[in-house]
C-alpha cells in the first residue's frame, strides 16, 4: 500500500474487526489507542500482526487502514462506501 501510495488499505479476515474486552466491535481508533489496546492485551493473538501492518501502512502515508470480515458478502463496499462501515478503521 505504501509503495503504491494508496490512500486506504483493507485487510480481510474471519472476524468482524478489532473487538474490545466485551467482544464488541471497535469501529474506529487511532494509533495511540491501538497501541494501548495491544499493551493491555485487548488486541492479542492473530489480530496483532494485522494491526501492526495497519500501523506500518499509516506511518508510511496511507490515510486509513481497515480490518473487516471478508466472509460477509459485499464487505469491502459496506466498509468503504457507508458512513458507519462494518469493521474497524484505524487512522493516524
> What is the domain range of residue 52?
8-91
pLDDT tens for the 92 residues of the chain, in order: 888 888 999 999 999 999 999 999 999 999 999 999 999 999 999 999 999 999 999 999 999 999 999 999 999 999 999 988 999 999 99
Question: How many whole angstroms separate alpha carbon 46 and alpha carbon 35?
Answer: 15
Domain count, the chain: 1
In-domain check, residue 3: no
- Looking at residue 1, its pLDDT comes to 84
Residue with cell 492473530: 46
- Looking at residue 29, its pLDDT comes to 98
Q: pTM for the whole thing?
A: 0.92
- Looking at residue 82, its pLDDT comes to 92
Question: How many whole angstroms separate alpha carbon 35 and alpha carbon 38?
Answer: 5
In-domain check, residue 73: yes
Query: Could you tell me how far CA 43 lies from the centroid of its own chain?
Result: 11
- H or E segment and range at residue 38: helix 31-39
In-domain check, residue 1: no
Question: How many whole angstroms separate alpha carbon 40 and alpha carbon 35?
Answer: 9
Amino acid at each position: 500500500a505504501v509503495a503504491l501510495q494508496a490512500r486506504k488499505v483493507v485487510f480481510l479476515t474471519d472476524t468482524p474487526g478489532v473487538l474490545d474486552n466485551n467482544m464488541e466491535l471497535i469501529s474506529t481508533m487511532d494509533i495511540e489507542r491501538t497501541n494501548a489496546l495491544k499493551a493491555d492485551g485487548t488486541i492479542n493473538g492473530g489480530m496483532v500482526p494485522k494491526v501492526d501492518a495497519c500501523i506500518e501502512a499509516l506511518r508510511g502515508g496511507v490515510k486509513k487502514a481497515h480490518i473487516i470480515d471478508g466472509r460477509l458478502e459485499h464487505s469491502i463496499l459496506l466498509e468503504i462506501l457507508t458512513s458507519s462501515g462494518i469493521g474497524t478503521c484505524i487512522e493516524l
